[in-house]
Amino acid sequence: AQSVTQLDSQVPVFEEAPVELRCNYSSSVSVYLFWYVQYPNQGLQLLLKYLSGSTLVKGINGFEAEFNKSQTSFHLRKPSVHISDTAEYFCAVTRLTNTGNQFYFGTGTSLTVIP
């Protein structure tokens, strides 16, 4: 079985400061990792994903994440946040095979950017 742990439920950060949202996963098999952003009363928007290849993945809106297999982590980072980045962020894992293709989500991290 796969699972995702987002270590911080709430992260306040000042505008233009850097931010890191932490995500750890557990799985006995190879998995694919995703970060989604959800703005208030809206759906899930894909920020970035790791399927294979380079462990540093760049996404939209200036976000990036690094896959670390030895630490089973996929932390999300942005060097300088904007007010518009205030949202809920979900880390998710899946196997993307015909026998294991549902997504398992973390409990989310609420990012609040302070002016």
The residue ranges that bind other proteins (CB under 8 A) are 36, 41-44, 46, 90, 94, 96-98, 101-108
Nearer to other proteins, 68 or 97 (CB): 97
Least distance CB 92 / other proteins (angstroms): 8
The CA angle 50-89-87, to the nearest 5 degrees, is 140
Q: Cβ(3)–Cβ(94) under 8 Å?
A: no
Least distance CB 98 / other proteins (angstroms): 4
Nearer to other proteins, 15 or 59 (CB): 59
Nearer to other proteins, 8 or 15 (CB): 8
Q: What is the DSSP string of 52-106?
A: SS-SEEE-GGG-EEEEETTTTEEEEEESS--GGG-EEEEEEEE--BTTB---EE-
Least distance CB 102 / other proteins (angstroms): 4
